[in-house]
Amino acid sequence: MKRLGVLLLALRRTLGAAGMVPPAPEPVSDFAAHAKRVEALAGWALRGRAALTTPQDSGTLAVDWRQVGEAYRIELRAPLGAGSVRLSGDQAGVLLQTSDGEEAFARTPGGLLQAYTGYQLPVEALRYWLLGVPVPDYAADQRFGDEGLLDELEQLGWQIDYRGYGQYGELALPTKIFLRNEDGIDVRVVVQRWELN
């Protein structure tokens, strides 16, 4: 029994060192400066899970999002091999590819994603909200927690609640984000891993 306890402790330390359990976020004294540092990231990636609920449907998805400048690749995978969707885009437009071999191109990702998945998500805004900052140059109602980070954000018709943060290098980033809008769309994202470039 003692040997099992030692093994579990070693595994816990290994997983923590690998970044699976990030340290608590460091307090932010100037949120505007923090937001500028986040927006200036040359590239980032997250891996996590999302639970989506609409008035007609609900489900869970694995999410992989990679952003390099204005270019992005978002992969959404349903459980048990039920299918996947990939969005690859930049300022010129976005290509959607499904695991069934379908492809479509559009100028913006939101309508394209809705047409193929039934989910109406503000993809362009999510790029910022997932990082814990508001979309620049749009009105926002912000409420901050004890660490000086966003607790709640209202912007573009969405309510975003930040339920957890972790420290990743010099930046505190969200680990649990709940989003909802007045149309009854509810999205809960749990970030399992952040990668910063």
pLDDT band at 147 (very low <50, low <70, confident <90, very high): very high
pTM recorded for the entire structure: 0.86
* CA 84 remoteness from chain centre: 17
pLDDT band at 47 (very low <50, low <70, confident <90, very high): very high
Strands 71-77, 84-90: pairing kind: antiparallel
> Residue 153 to residues 1, 9, 64, 142, 159: CA-CA distances in angstroms?
48, 38, 23, 5, 6
Predicted confidence (pLDDT) per residue in 77-91, tens digit: 988 777 899 999 999
Residue 36 belongs to what H/E stretch?
helix 31-39
Task: Identify the bridge partners of residue 2 per DSSP, sorted by sequence position.
Answer: none
